[in-house]
Structure 1
């Protein structure tokens, strides 16, 4: 039997995870459920008999990594999040899997199977603990992990969270600390990210280019480009009257990125 914790601040996501846990082929007992980093921090200061943690990353009171670092946590963690940019941090802790929302039962099952496999294979040897072997394994895995990019971006409102396909975003725009995404229907989505720099770490650079200080453009929605001034290019978008412009210092790099 696996004794587990759930760290998740969204009720629908927690319900989905618990349903998957119930369907798993090996008994999993949920010892506690937490919604904040402070709660998990207080619990783990004294708890020592937890086998596995299912953990979101961005919680109501902040990023959960701070809590885990304070405790130098050694319990294996399966991270479940809507944000792709934290994957390296996850494997720098005791993370063994990184599930991106929305995820399927098959992905969940493989993640827990990985925990069971690691646990069984590492229960050998008297001089080296399971934790030490797990750390060695994760170090080697982290070095080999390829760079991955996010397919969806989570958009949170006061009542719910929905997922916007990255490929359907025409462009991202930042203005006075507010970042928005405009989709192919010209619908505006207010994002939780604080800057375009954060987005650039999440999305594929072959698909999006930062044409100026405030806009990231999807190349698949470019209808045509034309010379606006000597050093600036105007960009007409498909099915839209919106015209974007490069900044002077981005024009040459942009045209090179387009292959022209």
Structure 2
């Protein structure tokens, strides 16, 4: 049995390998696939493995890009730090969906499902329905902010972008109004719909409608301008360029 571990963080690979080796003691493990590009190349030049463990957010993009470019019939157990990808995961042979840090009991249930699926080829539709219901209700629609002595609720549709400055997180509306948030940018990112907002670098999390211009930059990087933004030199991280283009094309 051949098992692929697609993960870009070495400690996570080591931990996952330690957790699953007891379940598959005679299996061959492929653990050096840490990017979308490498995985696509491997799958195109090898027979389909028996099982894949796949992190969703890789260094050079979103792992769903792999399944868009290569026909993969292998069962997949997805791993990620966020739960907003559940529906998309089940469109590509997903056996289960594990949130990091991985709970050994949850992992065992996922492996049990994989073994059962090999016997009867049935997918657990009840779990999928639960995830669909959860995903629809999991994203924030409003953010509570303070403005002087007033408390105001800002709709997600009013938000142009979020940004971090001197360890403070700000929300800026399409009208250019700024509000301080109590959350970190990482927390905000996990709370909002990833089809509407993209984390372009460590400082900015922007909506599609907030982008006024996109320019090519050196070394395959991109530079963008945001509406009503004082910062005129916003660069997209090199490791996010591919995922950003996919998001724009989504």
* TM-score (norm: length of structure 2): 0.55
Q: 1:198 aligns with which of 189, 193, 199?
A: 193
Q: Which residue of 1 aligns with 2:96?
A: 97
What is the DSSP-based 3-state SS (H/G/I as helix, E as strand, rest coil) of the residue aligned with 2:65?
A: helix
User: Counterpart in 2 of 1:73?
Assistant: 72
3-state DSSP of counterpart to 1:84 = coil
> Could you give the per-residue CA deviations for residues 190-219 of structure 1, whole angstroms, max 9, x where no partner exists?
318669742799xxxxxxxxxxxxxxxxxx
CA apart distance, 1:145: 4.5
Select the structure of larger CA radius of gyration: 1
Distance 2:190 2:107 in 1: 31
Secondary structure of the equivalent of 2:45? coil
Q: CA separation in 2, counterparts of 1:81 and 1:17?
A: 12
Q: Find out whether 1:50 has 2:35 as its counterpart.
A: no
Is 1:21–1:28's contact at 8 Å kept on the other side of the alignment? no
Deviation at 1:7, TM superposition (A): 0.4
Question: Contact conserved, 1:177 with 1:195, CA < 8 A, in 2?
Answer: no
* Residue of structure 1 in register with 2:83 after alignment: 84
Greater RCO (CA < 8 Å, at least 6 residues apart): 2
Indicate the residue corresponding to 1:30 in structure 2. Answer: 29
Could you say which residue in structure 1 is the equivalent of 2:17? Answer: 18
User: Whole-Å Cα distance in 1 between the matches of residues 130 and 86 of structure 2?
Assistant: 13
Q: 1:146 to 1:49 in 2, by over 3 A?
A: closer
CA contact (8 A) 1:6 1:53 kept: yes
Q: Residue 109 of structure 2 aligns with which residue? A: 110
User: Quick check: 1:193–1:199 contact (8 Å CA) kept in 2?
Assistant: no
Give the drift of 1:47: 1.4
| Residues 1-260 of structure 1: pairs in structure 2 closer than 5 A | 2-24=1-23, 27-119=26-118, 121-122=119-120, 133=121, 137=123, 142-143=128-129, 145-148=131-134, 176-178=161-163, 180=169, 189-191=184-186, 197-198=192-193
Q: Is the partner of 1:24 in helix, strand or coil?
A: coil
Shift of 1:81: 0.6
Aligned equivalents of 1:199, 1:73: Cα separation in 2: 24
For these two proteins, the number of residue pairs brought into alignment is 169
Deviations 1:55-95 (A, max 9, x none): 00011001010111111211110001111010100001111
CA pair 196-111 structure 1, distance change in 2 beyond 3 A: closer
Q: Which moved more, 1:98-107 or 1:27-36?
A: 27-36
> Conserved in 1, the CA contact under 8 Å of 2:52 and 2:76?
yes
1:225 aligns to what? none
